Chains A and B, each alone.
Chain A
Amino acid sequence: MADKIPILKMGRFLLLSIQVDMHDQLALDLQEDLTHQIVRHKAKGVLIDISALEIVDSFIGRMLSHIANVSRILDAKVIVVGMQPAVAITLVELGLSLEGIATALNTEKGMRRLESMVAEDESVGELESGENADTSASAGD
């Protein structure tokens, strides 16, 4: 295996930035690696930065929605950030509108959105335990 896309853990979130041209094997490896990491770290959210991705095909588009679906089952929110206009147009032309995947313009906005999404989820648990109250309140800000 020549190269691998690094998955970084940041608190309750996983961060992955696609900086190289995606080929099919790399996408498959990433898919598998990510599912394992989500379970291992009990991640609540995954942020995928594709700002450096300039070429997409239907396979990569499908892979993104596959990752989102798998993550949802594993109770992790997925947000895709920094999609280039050309990539967005291509995906639309391919008929892949990535239903159900949250998107944001850049990593900063994506992180904020992800935090509020996770905080929304946890607001119920907060009442019961009261343990995460502080973190949730600041995250939801």
Chain B
Amino acid sequence: MSSTAIAELLRNHEATLLDVWVAAQRNAGMRLDLMNESTIVTNSAELLRKLTTAAAQGMDDLDAAHWQPVKTLLEQFSFNQSRAGVSPSETATFVFSLKEPLFKLIQEHSAEPLVDIWATTQLLDKLGLYSIECFMSGRESVIREQQESMLELSTPVVELWDGILAIPLIGALDSNRTQIVMEALLEKIVETESDIAIIDITGVPTVDTMVAQHLIKTVTAAKLMGAQCIISGIRPQIAATIVHLGVELGDVITKASLADAFRVALKQQGTRFIAATSR
């Protein structure tokens, strides 16, 4: 019996197969809290129908064009599962639970049950693995999105005064993040035509050579564009580390606190505050 025969078998017993399959999924512990049962039934029916069509044209090569509809459906299903927070094994169960009802069917109707079961199991294994792969890539895309939004959230550039920007850095700095900080700062300098930018590192727990290097690069890049950078909020340990590491900060202005840096910036701008006359 060839793949066409299996397709025939699928087509003739579609309704019964679907019932048994959905029942098997329910037994395997369907996550009704996360997935609607009717959605699962619809998905199962659709997969079964597409499987039948695809199997009729040969089941050896999953990369063939006629398997594309099945793969697309699995992709969507796994992606939604991963978004909903279903575990990988539960996602795989969706495909693997089709084995039992299908094998029974083959055993009852096939002339060579062993050969057909082997072919089917190979096919379903491949489909199961494929759905896991999709599940994983769905997860990864979620992680990536979160990472990106976290990076954006963590690097706000604020305007302190006309022509004075501040960028308060909080948390550990790595090259990736420093790169984003650098770009955000430079873009903002262009946008607001600010002459002075204050980089506040009060919230940075540790400074190593890499971080220091990145800071210097940022300062130099800003200088090339015509803006001046002031580094503020250097804690005692960090100052000691910078000296210990032998990092040359060059002619970068460093100030203890953001307030001090702000004062310097205002002074350079020629802005002065005049106390209101007391009544």
Residues of A at the B interface (CB closer than 8 Å) are 80-85, 87-89, 91-93, 97-98, 103-106, 109-110
Say whether A89 contacts B190, CB under 8 Å: no
Chain A residues, CB < 8 A from B227: 105
The answer on a CB contact under 8 Å between A88 and B195 is no
Are A97 and B220 neighbours in the complex by a CB distance under 8 Å? yes
Please indicate the chain B residues that have their CB under 8 angstroms from the CB of A91 in the complex. Answer: 221, 224
User: What's the count of A-B pairs with C-beta under 8 Å?
Assistant: 57
When each residue 169-194 of chain B gets 1 if its CB lies under 8 Å from chain A and 0 otherwise, what string results?
Answer: 00000000000001100110110011
Contact call B226/A97, Cβ cutoff below 8 A: no
Tell me, in angstroms, the Cα distance from A103 to B224 when the chains sit together: 6
Q: B31 contacts the other chain (Cβ, under 8 Å)?
A: no
Main secondary structure of the interface of B (DSSP, over half): helix
5 A-B pairs besides A105-B225, A109-B195 with CB distance below 8 A are: A83-B225, A83-B226, A84-B225, A91-B224, A92-B224
Least CB distance from B177 to A in Å reads: 15
Q: A85-B183, A89-B183, A92-B217 are in contact. Are A105 and B190 (CB under 8 A)?
A: yes
Measured in the bound complex, the distance between the Cα atoms of B224 and A83 in whole Å is 7
Q: How many residues of B contact A (CB 8 A)?
A: 18
| Chain A contacts for B187, CB-based, 8 A | 85
> Which residue in A89, A109, A110 is a CB contact (below 8 Å) of B186?
A89
Complex Cα spacing A85 to B223, Å? 11
Asked if B222 is at the interface of the complex by the 8 Å CB criterion, the answer is yes
